[in-house]
Structure 1
Amino acid sequence: MPTRSLRRALPAAVAAAAALGLVSCGSPQPKAVASAPKVSTQEGTARSAELTYDLGDTAYAPPGLGGKRTELKAAVTYPRELGTGKHPLIMMLHGWGDTCAAGDKPVRDGGWPCSKGAVSVNNFLGYSYLAEALAEKGYIVVSVAANGIQAQEKDQGQIARAALLDKHLEMWKQLSAGAGPLQELKQFKDHVDLERVGTLGHSRGGGGVLAQALDSHKLPPGVNLRATLALAPAMNGIDPKKERITRVPLAVIAGTCDALWEDVKIPVAMAAGNPHVELNRSGFSRDLIP
């Protein structure tokens, strides 16, 4: 769990980064199973509202997962008063954790969906406090569940995670036209600005948002990724000798004692050639964002 100072810094970092942007291109992804989502609402705060949509545990077969299927599920935190304009969209992706549990005990049989008697762990709700803070500043925040990838992945599943984010963005693009699997979420029609999308990922989720931001990755049509924040990212499966992020303003936060920092040379691999990058390591930061 982030320290209190990091809790304060993260919303500002994401909000500031999401105001920037470069143009990126798009390509279609494998289709989801056609079904209406299960929608539930939560209490929220005085200035933010919350809901969860769920199309099922096997709704999507992302590339990079060998044909195995994963869930299409996310928590949406948004300004309680959406007004008449459009709001920037923040996509969040959680890190590794136990995917299934029976009561308070993890079930680690490696299967997905969870075996009989076990339920999926709500890892995607881990940053709810941050989602609320951002929603109160005017952002719509979608925190994506990736337990199905965690339970079945190889090479830390970065290709699958990037594709999962793309699939959710594709559904939100359809929703903006009043169509697609999320069309019953009518309160968001005409209120989501897909030209201003920011991403935040932690640990393996950090690797996922970096994979999505790579120059070689093609985003869904009509989506403009304006900033990426990778928090202590795990990046196995991304070749630092071949890949770069130069189109998307980027922030990376990693600890000095995090072996992944040295192993994958995040500053060299991900920041080379990027005119808008912030690197933070053990209290040292360099801000090149004008």
Structure 2
Amino acid sequence: MRKLLTVVIACAMLVPTATTAQASARHLVGTATYTLGDTAFQLPAREDGTSDRAELTAVVHYPKDLARHRYPVVLMSHGSWITCADRKAWDDQDYSKLAAWPCAPGTPPLPSQRGYDYLGEDLAAQGMIVISISAKGVEPNYLGQEQDAARAALISKHLALWQELTATGGGPLAGKVLDHGRPIDFRGHADLANVGLMGHSRGGRGTLLFAADVNQARWPTGVKIKAVVPLAPAEPYAPDDNPDNPEYTPYRITNIPVANFVGSCDRAVEGHLRYLNAHNKAPLYEYYVRGANHDFYNTQWSPSSGQVGAYDDAATPSPPKPGYCTSDDDPHRADKQLTETQQRLVASTYLSAFFRRYLLGDRRADPILTGTVQPLRSFATIDITKDMP
């Protein structure tokens, strides 16, 4: 019998790592990076038969005590934004330069994959290897479901590289995952049969496509996805609200726990994934975060970074009300807007709880997931829906 629990919670200030982990030990965290080049990967062909090449680049947060340990893996994929940090081009709104790949000589790539370092560090401290991949090569010429397929192909390639690296210590990543110039030996330490995925924005839609029931047979050998987080995802298109519409089939996940995050002041996407409720056989959560916008989840897209193109995407109420934003589901409602720090604390708290539960098997995370425990009630209001088959 399906149980549907909906709780509206007002959440309390509490350090997320202390609340969600409830673990006896914390891990010191290392940060490594790797790149095999800006054009190292051939993306899938588009409908017209053409294709582009993309980068194989990522930042990795990992527990430093690798010896005698095998940790679950979380792979994160950023969303769709400008690819090149060209300030003059931004001032001129010249998207031929802002959305190019590779970037022009002398123009640095905008490191969207570094926007989730706060999540990577937090999850790694709790015993996970976290890989945040760059997906800038899909931006210039891939649209719609073709972009989702390109993003899914990038996810698959990185996971295949890591499966080879951890199984044999070899493959293209051998000696290339560097922490301050020192190669880290991950052989035997990353559990690719215990993987969580997080995709933000269009990265969320690509993640849904990769993890969908109809695509699971295409996962790299030895890779198993155990948990999926669409973070303010771009919702798949369908011409109506029928959850059984075939347009949803490439994105439908029924057998993996999913936790979806929707912001009430997110002007980029609606974010609800109601079609997932139709046939799910695994737990499905939705966190409707009042006062959350789209960009603050990624530090590189947030104003405090000073990065090219960073801004607050929330709408200002009319008449203006300082500290509040216009709710997307009710234009007459003004929600108290979360700060950058508060919004990221929400993400850290609930993603930690979700991945601890479904990658580490820690049932002590359940009260946070269901809203029985309200760790952030002093500053955030979150509507939680839990759908258990």
Which range, TM-score by smaller chain? 0.7 to 0.9
The Cα of 1:272 is off from its aligned counterpart by 2.3
Checking the alignment, whether the CA contact within 8 Å between 1:11 and 1:133 is kept in structure 2 is no
- Aligned counterpart in structure 2 of residue 271 of structure 1, from 257, 270, 277: 277
Distance 2:156 2:150 in 1: 10
Structure 1 pair 67–78 and aligned structure 2 pair: CA distance change class (3 A): same
Q: Give the C-alpha shift of residue 211 in structure 1.
A: 1.1
* 1:137 aligns to 2:126 (yes or no): yes
Answering whether residue 86 of structure 2 is matched by residue 86 of structure 1, we say no
Unpaired stretches in structure 2, ≥5 consecutive residues: 1-10, 178-183, 290-381
Which residue does 2:35 correspond to in 1? Answer: 54
Map 1:1-290 → 2, pairs under 5 A = 47-63=28-44, 65=46, 66-102=50-86, 106=90, 108-109=95-96, 110-155=99-144, 157-176=147-166, 177-184=168-175, 185=177, 187-217=185-215, 218-236=218-236, 241-242=245-246, 243=249, 244-258=252-266, 266-267=273-274, 269-274=275-280, 275-282=282-289, 283-288=382-387
1:199 touches 1:229 (CA, 8 Å); kept in 2?
yes
- The 3 A distance-change label for structure 1 pair 117 and 237 is farther
Contact 1:277 1:288 in 2 (8 A): yes
Structure of larger gyration radius: 2
The answer (yes or no) to whether the contact 1:60–1:69 under 8 Å persists in 2 is yes
Structure 1: segments with no counterpart, 5+ residues: 17-45
Q: CA deviation at 1:247?
A: 1.9
Number of residue pairs matched? 256
Task: Name the SS for the 1:127 alignment partner.
Answer: helix
Report the AA paired with residue 111 of structure 2: N
Whichever residue aligns with residue 224 of structure 1, its letter is K
Cα separation, 1, equivalents of 2:151 and 2:102: 17
**How far did residue 118 of structure 1 move?**
1.4
Displacement of 1:6 in angstroms is 11
- The C-alpha deviation readout for 1:6-52, integer Å capped at 9, x for no partner, is 99669988x89xxxxxxxxxxxxxxxxxxxxxxxxxxxxx8111111
Moved over 3 A (4+): 4-13, 102-107, 235-240, 256-262
Q: Secondary structure at the match of 1:57?
A: coil
Matched-pair identity in %? 36
SS at match of 2:255: coil
Check conservation: 1:64, 1:159, Cα contact below 8 A: no
Following superposition, the deviation at residue 245 of structure 1 comes to: 0.8
| Contact 2:76–2:198 (Cα < 8 Å) also in 1 | yes
Cα pair 1:158 1:237 within 8 Å, conserved:
no
Moved more, 177-186 or 53-62: 177-186
Distance between the aligned counterparts of 1:286 and 1:174, measured in 2? 38
Shift in Å, 1:258 = 4.5
TM, length-normalised to structure 2: 0.59
Q: Which letter does structure 2 place at the counterpart of 1:74?
A: A
CA distance in 1, matches of 2:132, 2:228: 14
* Equivalence for 2:362: none
- Measured against aligned partners, the alpha-carbon deviations of 1:69-107 in whole angstroms (never above 9, x if no partner) come to 110000011011113021000000111222102367646
> Can you list the C-alpha shifts for 1:41-67, whole angstroms capped at 9, x where unaligned?
xxxxx8111111001111111225541
Q: Is the 8 A contact 1:77 1:140 kept in 2?
A: yes
**Is contact 1:76–1:142 with CA below 8 Å preserved after alignment?**
yes
Task: Write the letter of the residue equivalent to 1:210.
Answer: L
Equivalent residue letter for 1:253:
F
Separation of aligned partners in 1, 2:134 and 2:128: 19
Mean Cα deviation higher: 279-288 or 142-151: 279-288
Could you tell me which amino acid in structure 1 is paired with residue 136 of structure 2? N
Which range moves more in the overlay, 63-72 or 208-217? 63-72
- 8 Å Cα contact 2:58/2:132 also seen in 1: yes
Q: Bigger shift: 191-200 or 279-288?
A: 279-288
- Structure 1 pair 289–74 and aligned structure 2 pair: CA distance change class (3 A): farther
Task: State TM-score, norm by structure 1.
Answer: 0.78
Deviation, structure 1 residue 271: 3.2
- CA distance in structure 2 between the partners assigned to 1:211 and 1:102 by the alignment: 31
The 1:271/1:98 distance shift into structure 2, 3 A limit, reads same
